[in-house]
Amino acid sequence: MKRSVLTDEARSKEAKKVTWVGFVLNALLTSFKIFAGFTGGSAAMIADGVHSLSDFFTDIVVLVGFKFIDKPEDDQHNYGHGKFETLATVIIGLALLLVGYKIMASGIMSIYGVLFKGKIIEQPKMIALAAAVLSVVCKEWLFRYTRHIGEMIQSSAVIANGWHHRSDAFSSIGTMAGIGGAILFGQNWAVLDPLASLIVSVFIFKVSFQILMPAVNELLESSLQDEEIEHIKNIFEASPHIQNFHHLRTRRIGSKVAIEVHFVFEKTMSIQEAHSFATEVEKKIKEFFGASSLITTHLEPSRDSLDIWRTVEC
């Protein structure tokens, strides 16, 4: 499937727009949820509000990250600043991990207090339940909107931020269930409030690792996915002028891909012709991966007929 191609300026504009939308909505939701948590006597809603507060941090990370990503190549960053987007994704994943830990620790301590120390948990009020319902609706919409834009502009940081919104929706679902159960069944079931937050923290951990692992692999210079590499090879093999290729190297730099390869041409072919054919192949790759793709080709003459050339990939 051919990818959509956007300029770096267009990507940055869309990323900032969707992040600002999330920033404003998070400000309103966080204020209301923390207010409702204290007013409604719900520890789960207060924790949920703190979770939403962490969204401010991740929104700022994305906005600041794209300030660096927008910069052109310079003497210190010959391949551009795309890795700042990857770094922003890692920071978001770590923030989610920390939030999940805090919510889990708080839930465990509350449940321990009830079971072993006779602690009485205050029964939450309806305003806390209303805040949870509102949060689920708003954050789920924000997740779908942010993920759509992130996939459109092929930004791992924006997609990660979208999943942070989804984790907030998950948190609010658990909070809603806990608060609703505590209200419906009475004071003796108020423990459902911290129990719900404990269960939701597991989902937050799962999402954080889903975000972190691909970004960490990218920082460690892992190759492109197998299907992407296969597509690149198919482009090479479709060219009637390239006799063979080897030393194929691939990696991702933010939203861009970097590809290095050695092309083998007929030894009687002029360097001008070989360069022209290599350029045709580069254009086809950029049609799929985007015009900002970084492609380096090395042209080699074929050896005599006794040599057997094999494709080598790393």
CATH of region 226-301: 3.30.70.1350
What is the phi/psi pair of residue 290, to 5°? 110, 150
Q: What sign does the CA torsion over 130, 131, 136, 142 have?
A: positive
Provide block-wise average pLDDT over 10 residues at a time, the chain (314 residues). 58 82 87 89 77 68 64 56 70 82 83 76 83 91 91 80 81 81 77 76 79 77 80 88 87 77 87 88 84 81 53 37
Nearest CA among 219, 311, 221 for reference residue 264: 311
Per-residue DSSP letter, 188: G
- Please, are residues 165 and 144 in contact by the beta-carbon 8 Å criterion? no
Supply the pLDDT for residue 310.
Answer: 41
Q: Which two tokens stand for residue 152?
A: 């459109």
Decide if 8-219 and 226-301 have a common fold: no
CATH of region 8-219: 1.20.1510.10
Q: How far apart are CA 209 and CA 205, in angstroms?
A: 6
Domain assignments of the chain as residue spans, ordered by start: 8-219, 226-301
Supply the pLDDT for residue 305.
Answer: 38
DSSP H helices in 220-294: 226-238, 271-289
Q: How far apart are CA 95 and CA 55, in angstroms?
A: 9
Three-class SS of residue 128? Answer: helix
